[in-house]
Amino acid sequence: MSTLDNILEEINNAETIAILTHENPDGDAIGSALALYNSLKQIGKNPDVIIPEYPRTFEFLPSTDEIKKESNIEKYDLAISVDCATIKMLNGFAKYFEDAKVKINIDHHSSNTMFGDYNYVSPDAPACAQVLIGVFNFLNINITKEIGTCLITGIITDTGGFKYPGVTAETFEFTAGLLQDGVNISKIYRRVLQIKTRANFELTRIASNRLEFFEDGKVAFTYITKEEMERVGAENGDHEGIVSIGRDIEGVEVSIFLRETDNGCKASLRSNEYVNVSDVCLLLGGGGHIRAAGATMQCTIEQAKEKILRQIKSVI
């Protein structure tokens, strides 16, 4: 019996289902979770999608009004994690996953630790949303305009608008099919990648002004403090995209962005051609993709900067 057979059997047997994703969810995490939610509703299930916080950029997605911040169900029959490489990344709501009778892990990160009872992980896919296309086809789900909108949002955000190396022919084939079905790809693209909140603009300006370069210009570094985020009225997700400032500069191989939090800071790393930032972040307690990764660090920005630059220096 294949993993997909097992997944279908467990979905059919479950009365209560929780859909979960990683903390500080991006478009792929939210898009995948809501696509799965609407798909399970289509086959007669009534799942809970539990996401404590998400950027308001994605409020246009179908069924965001159904998202729960928490649940009063203590033990689900089935918990499904999407776009999450480790159980640690589920953070405060990992309990719903750990306490469930059956656990399913659907993902595309090469650093995935296979933490489910059933793991359907495809590192070659550029987004978890693209992995779900195959799952939905197996489950005989009709990919409606609503489900397609969620999936393409995940694909657009995780591929940077189809520009990263992981994009496949299947990515464009699926996108073409959605266009034929009336999904407004250009509108979604503009909404998730081009329109910025005022707070994001202000934070981007601050981060740009303090950009530093190391290793003969191959490494770019910048950061944002908690006080600065509060001063501009930043909300969840208003820091998104800042790490790309450095990566898009000629000669830069690795871009590092640190965001101060209550307990330390969060690091986002991006690379262009040859540095595997996932390996770097694994050494820092995080993970991700070869060209895009991150880590949560319980130290000051200066300490985190020193630790990351030390690791980068050995591979640059």
Are the beta carbons of 31 and 154 closer than 8 angstroms? Answer: yes
Instruction: Supply the pLDDT for residue 88.
Output: 87
198 pLDDT higher than 70: yes
- Topology of domain 198-313 in CATH is Diaminopimelate Epimerase; Chain A, domain 1 (3.10.310)
Structure pTM? 0.89
Q: State what percent of residues in the chain have pLDDT above 90.
A: 88
What are the distances in angstroms from CA 231 to CA 222, 223, 266? 18, 15, 19
Tell me how far apart the alpha carbons of residues 296 and 267 are, in angstroms, rounded to a whole number.
6
Instruction: Supply the pLDDT for residue 162.
Output: 95
Residue in the block written with tokens 């000051």: 300
Pairing of strands 219-224, 212-214: antiparallel
Tell me how far apart the alpha carbons of residues 78 and 93 are, in angstroms, rounded to a whole number.
14
The two domains 3-193 and 198-313 share their CATH topology (first three levels equal): no
Q: Beta-strand (E) ranges in 122-159?
A: none
The CATH classification of domain 3-193, taken from the options 3.90.245.10, 3.90.1640.10, 3.40.50.300, 3.40.1260.10: 3.90.1640.10
pLDDT digits (tens, 9 = 90+) for 60-107: 999 999 999 999 998 999 999 999 999 988 876 789 999 999 999 999
Across all residues in the chain, what is the average pLDDT? 95
pLDDT digits (tens, 9 = 90+) for 231-283: 999 998 899 999 999 999 999 999 999 999 999 999 999 999 999 999 999 99
Q: Where are the domains of the chain?
A: 3-193, 198-313
